[in-house]
Amino acid sequence: MAGESNASLLNDHKEKHFTAGEIVRDIIIGVSDGLTVPFALAAGLSGANATSAVIVTAGVAEIAAGAISMGLGGYLAAKSEADHYMRELKREQDEIIAVPDTEAAEVAEILSEYGIQPHEYSPVVNALRKNPQAWLDFMMKFELGLEKPDPKRAMQSAMTIAIAYIVGGIVPLFPYMLISSADRAVIASVIVTLLALLIFGYGKGHFTGSKPFWSALQTTFIGAIASAAAFAMAKLVQG
Amino acid sequence: MAGESNASLLNDHKEKHFTAGEIVRDIIIGVSDGLTVPFALAAGLSGANATSAVIVTAGVAEIAAGAISMGLGGYLAAKSEADHYMRELKREQDEIIAVPDTEAAEVAEILSEYGIQPHEYSPVVNALRKNPQAWLDFMMKFELGLEKPDPKRAMQSAMTIAIAYIVGGIVPLFPYMLISSADRAVIASVIVTLLALLIFGYGKGHFTGSKPFWSALQTTFIGAIASAAAFAMAKLVQG
């Protein structure tokens, strides 16, 4: 009994930890692209002599499209994974009932990959055979490597990514909203976005366990490369 | 011996299966956004009375920026996961050497979550203790749920996503390259992109095991929503 409540507390703790980590991951996904692509698009267009008005129009349209594509796309992907999990769960359930010997052999195979001998793993296999729910959980995790998805996560993930993308995208764009000369606005945009990329990259490194300074540089580097490419392509098309 | 070579063949088969699945997943990621965002951006700009020339400039700049952001971003994310794996591997290795009793207790805890009793799992725990390499693999997989990343995958993933994004983005954009009147080009772009989204969505459903018709509709729906939003935002800014 104590073991069960401890395991349950541990699972709760793991789940909260897991969700917080997933929210951070979604923010990173949204802000990474949101800071980079609108910035590069705006810089590229300014290099092709577009006015601030055109740049803001294009930028705002891109942010709306990007937020929806990433958000809705992420939602459908999460839903699809949840459907996949339920289909695999049903299939394992059917197999445990219909062909238990085959399933038991699969458990044996999993454990034998770790050098465990039949006489060592058979008590485990027999214990699972007597406990179909635990057996099912074991197969889902150790044969298929699937975690039970939280139904709330799909919507949460979509909203987080979309909002993060919008917030990220506004940063490089607002100088063009305030400064009507695109040539001057681009300088402000570069400074503001560079700072944002450095700070965000540093924070990303901190949360993901990579060296924060290195992460800051990498993130800023991507922004620089993306805007250089956008600039080059825009000039190519214009000239 | 026979068991080892069978296991090795099975692993090879699983790895090839795994990689093929990852390449398909990366193509889906790239084409999903590549078809949607440039299409929506172009449609939005045409609604704000931009010329085909401006639209092509913006579109091409966005495709370049998007491909790099997603590609490089994906590459760094994969590298970061690989670094994370190596750090966790080192830590588990140290723990196995320094505090084997604690690690053995962790194995016991993992197995007991499946209702397996101490007298049933101790032969397994002891077998692992005698085989440090297998013990390490077991902890990486069953305690941490981490797969050993293939060093080639990061670059492969980045290139696949970037190229898929570019291919996806060209589709809605090329009508504007051929038709100088944006009002007429947008009609062609809508038709071409709608078809592409339906076909791609169908294929995506086929590969991911979701109902292909439903997937085709969902994918097209995202494209429609994204372009409607881009259109609305562009009109909002212009007017």
Residues in contact with A73: Cβ distance below 8 Å, sequence separation at least 6, in sequence order:
B32, B33, B36, B222
What is the residue whose two structure tokens read 């997603």?
A: B70
For B117, the closest of A33, A87, A127 (CB atoms) is A127
**What is the pLDDT at residue B1?**
47
pLDDT at A228 over 90: yes
Q: Which residues of chain B lie closer than 8 angstroms to A233, CB-CB?
A: 60-61, 63-64
Question: What is residue A150's three-state secondary structure?
Answer: coil
pLDDT at A201 over 60: yes
Residue B95's CB: how many other CB atoms inside 10 A?
Answer: 15
Between A22-26, A39-43, B134-138, the lowest mean confidence (pLDDT) is in: A22-26
Mean pLDDT of A24-34: 90
Contact A32 B73 (CB under 8 A): yes
Q: Which residues of chain A lie closer than 8 angstroms to B115, CB-CB?
A: 127-128, 131, 134
Helix H, strand E, coil C: the string for chain B is CHHHHHHHHHHHHHHHHHHHHHHHHHHHHHHHHHHHHHHHHHHHHHHCCCCHHHHHHHHHHHHHHHHHHHHHHHHHHHHHHHHHHHHHHHHHHHHHHHCHHHHHHHHHHHHHCCCCCHHHHHHHHHHHHCCHHHHHHHHHHHHCCCCCCCHHHHHHHHHHHHHHHHHHHHHHHHHHHHCCCHHHHHHHHHHHHHHHHHHHHHHHHHHHCCCHHHHHHHHHHHHHHHHHHHHHHHHHHHC
pLDDT at A7 over 70: no
**For the segment A53-105, what is each residue's pLDDT rounded down to a tens digit?**
999 999 999 999 999 999 988 888 888 888 888 888 999 999 999 998 998 88
Interface predicted TM-score (ipTM) of this complex, two decimals: 0.82
Q: How confident is the model at residue A113 (pLDDT cuts 50, 70, 90)?
A: confident
Q: How far apart are CA A223 and CA A203, in angstroms?
A: 16
pLDDT exceeding 70 applies to what percent of chain B?
92
pLDDT at A15 over 80: no
The answer to whether A71 touches A161, Cβ cutoff 8 Å, is: yes
Contact A128 B121 (CB under 8 A): no
The answer to whether B225 touches A71, Cβ cutoff 8 Å, is: no
Contact A231 B138 (CB under 8 A): no
Mutation for B interface: A114, A166, A176, most B CBs within 10 A: A114
The answer to whether A165 touches A67, Cβ cutoff 8 Å, is: yes
Closest chain A residue to the Cα of B11, Cα to Cα: A113
Give B73→chain A minimum CA distance, Å: 7
Please report the sign of the dihedral spanned by the C-alpha atoms of residue B91, residue B93, residue B94, residue B96.
positive
Mean pLDDT of B175-195: 94
pLDDT at B41 over 90: yes
